Structure 1
Amino acid sequence: MIARRHLALATLPLLVRPAIAQTPWPARPVRLIVPFAPGGTTDVVGRIVAERLGARLGQPVVTENRAGAGATLGAQQVARAEPDGLTLLVSSSTSHGVSPALYPNIPYDALRDFTHVGMIARSPSVLLVNPASPYRNLGDFAAAARTAGEIRFAVAGVGTSSHLAGVRLAMALGVRTESIPYRGAGPALTDLMGGVVPAMLDSLPSCGPHVRSGALRALAVSGAERADSFAELPTLREGGLDVVSYAWFGISGPAGLPAPVVQRLSTELRAVLNDPPTRARLEELGGAPPDTTPESYTAFIRDELAAFAPLVRAAGLQPQ
């Protein structure tokens, strides 16, 4: 009898493992960490995707804002999470491009500590001023900056893509920069609309509605070509300034996500981005979604890390 009992206990793990393996994923709601304050581009893009992704997964995808330290606080939270696919990150050109070059003691490795699932969108920055500003176009802004010898602009955080776009713009103009950092694009846009700060560069998904409503005046975009949804806006290159800059956003999880979870996430994310209403919504905001895979998104991040590092050093940026 004892021998039989020991045999039954010994075979129990073999019986349990298949049951665990067959548990459908996700069995609980999924958290999607947005490493910026509400109202910014990362938040807007994350919420658009979260709603559609949750419908396809059969569980809610709940966005949580975890702002601070150039998106590194939210990214660190996901890097340290259990690799069960229930905690994901809206990774971006800030958290996985600029900040690794900016922060000397960053608490994660942008490649080793994450499983990258796919890109959501890529969006140019927009040069913005208050509607009461005397700058009616890019030429007015450039002439005033050269006369003053500097440009002052709000940024969604030190080392964000919009910050780097402003640095590139100042370099092209041959002037100094005075950046005014905020804890996200939302608060910065509010102060720009209130006349507290004179200018800002921000990605189209967060600033687009304010431009359409007339609450902000857009002077130019930083893309290589004009944005389809704002075709009237010239590029910085058209204004004689050799500046091309994009923000990008994607979905990542902690390192070690099981292959079936990665495959399911990749499949559902691509389905969401190819859904006509979602695609139209993102394109309307200026962020046309690409068709990416976990492998291509990982390779893209590797290339961006190599590109941002020399720019951060050349600009002399320091974390604040």
Structure 2
Amino acid sequence: MKAQTSITRSAPAKARRALLGMAAAAMLAGGASLPVRAQDAASYPSRMIRITVPNPAGGTSDVLGRLLAKELGEMFKQPVIVENKAGGNGQIGAAFVAKSAPDGYNLLLLDMSVLTIGPSVVAQLPYNPQKDLAPITIPAYSPHLLVVRNDLPVKNIDELAAYAKKSGKPPSFGTPLASISQLAGILIAQDRGFEFNVIGYKGGAQALADLAGGQIDSAMASVVATNQLVQGGKVKAIAVTSAKPFAATPGVPTVASQIPNFVTGSWQGLLAPANTPPAVLDKLQDAVQRIVTRPEFAKHLQELGSEPSAMNRQQIAEWMRTETQRWGKVVKDNNIKAE
């Protein structure tokens, strides 16, 4: 006779209460907290909020996270802190939040490419970005800039393609491997009928430093990362990947003007664990949107080389699905592997 493993309707109420108490104790012992109850959503937040940034301090996500933490803390009258959990190309911090309690007190801020490329390049990803995380908002978008060394005789991507074909050797392209910048560069080169000689780097900053020093021919990174070098005359910008001319890069032609509908970049997304109450997500979305549309904050974003996105939660979720499919095909077609 098999042992009975579930409590039936006829089980004593005392036994049911004991079982629930044991489950709650196990959750708390494991570091999780009980989910927010529906009636508690109206009083959210009532304690400290932690924003996990899965990158080292000083990067784009970290800078943005700390700016938002300050503003949200003042708005909510509760402490909001940023905690850096770097490693695994952003996947360690993302998985940590995905597995956190869905109570609105553990949030994730990161470049969304970690979530849209990760499933294609990381074997056995320990979470599902589309199922285990709930989008809240995208407070900042910074398109990519395709930049070349100053003495390269090209002013746009068509001239770069012509140069590559005439020279008889692929121009070198510095990029972190299996990154959004590598995949975007591959698509541009394929559309224009040439190849890049991809030079792998640990991070985009190292590639840009070598480009400024004339050691490689080209690189691609967000406007936030590249524009200071462009404005300082260290490198030359030949294309920006925004859908239309970008305010922070006047005079730089868009890739979309030569390759229709080509849009890439760094979408800095704020997310929560899946099953976080919609009322909590609504409150966070509204708070961040109010912050990023304030004239002084919007001006600061523009100075950094970013602008807020107008996508709502449902639109972000759909965008994640289509971007995951888009980059998954590029990864498969080009046999891209993570470092």
AA partner of residue 246 (structure 1): T
Q: For residues 80 and 56 of structure 2, what CA distance do their matches in structure 1 show?
A: 18
Aligned to 2:32: none
C-alpha change, 1:149 and 1:258, in structure 2 (3 Å) is: same
Aligned to 1:33: 52
| Aligned-pair Cα RMSD in Å | 3.0
Give how far 1:196 is off.
4.4
Aligned to 1:110: 129
Aligned to 1:5: none
AA partner of residue 257 (structure 1): T
Q: Deviations over 1:269-293 (max 9, x none)?
A: 1111211122222234443312333
Residues 151 and 175 in structure 1, CA contact (< 8 A), matched pair in contact too:
no
Aligned to 2:117: 98
Q: For residues 184 and 61 of structure 1, what CA distance do their matches in structure 2 show?
A: 28
Q: For residues 61 and 182 of structure 1, what CA distance do their matches in structure 2 show?
A: 33
Aligned to 2:10: none
TM-score by length of 2: 0.77
Q: Deviations over 1:149-197 (max 9, x none)?
A: 4232222x33322222111122123233333344443343334334444
Q: For residues 266 and 203 of structure 1, what CA distance do their matches in structure 2 show?
A: 24
Give how far 1:251 is off.
0.4
C-alpha change, 1:22 and 1:82, in structure 2 (3 Å) is: closer
Aligned to 2:105: 86
Aligned to 2:271: 252
Q: For residues 184 and 48 of structure 1, what CA distance do their matches in structure 2 show?
A: 23
C-alpha change, 1:74 and 1:190, in structure 2 (3 Å) is: farther
TM-score by length of 1: 0.81
Aligned to 1:161: 180
State which of 263, 270, 273 in structure 1 corresponds to 2:282.
263
Residues 161 and 189 in structure 2, CA contact (< 8 A), matched pair in contact too:
no
Give how far 1:136 is off.
5.2
- In the alignment, structure 2 segments of 5+ residues that lack a partner are 1-20, 22-35
Runs ≥4 residues deviating over 4 A: 240-243
Give how far 1:60 is off.
4.1
C-alpha change, 1:118 and 1:243, in structure 2 (3 Å) is: closer
State which of 315, 318, 323 in structure 2 corresponds to 1:304.
323
Q: For residues 73 and 236 of structure 1, what CA distance do their matches in structure 2 show?
A: 33
Residues 120 and 331 in structure 2, CA contact (< 8 A), matched pair in contact too:
yes
Residues 54 and 60 in structure 1, CA contact (< 8 A), matched pair in contact too:
yes
Moved more, 26-35 or 223-232: 26-35
Q: For residues 234 and 174 of structure 2, what CA distance do their matches in structure 1 show?
A: 16
State which of 240, 248, 251 in structure 2 corresponds to 1:229.
248
Q: Deviations over 1:221-264 (max 9, x none)?
A: 122322122121112354x4567232222100122223332222
Q: For residues 180 and 31 of structure 1, what CA distance do their matches in structure 2 show?
A: 36
Aligned to 1:122: 141
State which of 147, 152, 170 in structure 2 corresponds to 1:150.
170
Aligned to 1:49: 68
C-alpha change, 1:193 and 1:60, in structure 2 (3 Å) is: farther
SS at match of 1:252: strand
Residues 34 and 42 in structure 1, CA contact (< 8 A), matched pair in contact too:
yes
Give how far 1:214 is off.
2.8
State which of 261, 285, 295 in structure 2 corresponds to 1:276.
295
Q: For residues 160 and 206 of structure 2, what CA distance do their matches in structure 1 show?
A: 23
- Structure 2 residue 78 is matched with structure 1 residue 59: yes
Moved more, 76-85 or 34-43: 34-43
- Structure 2 residue 155 is matched with structure 1 residue 137: yes
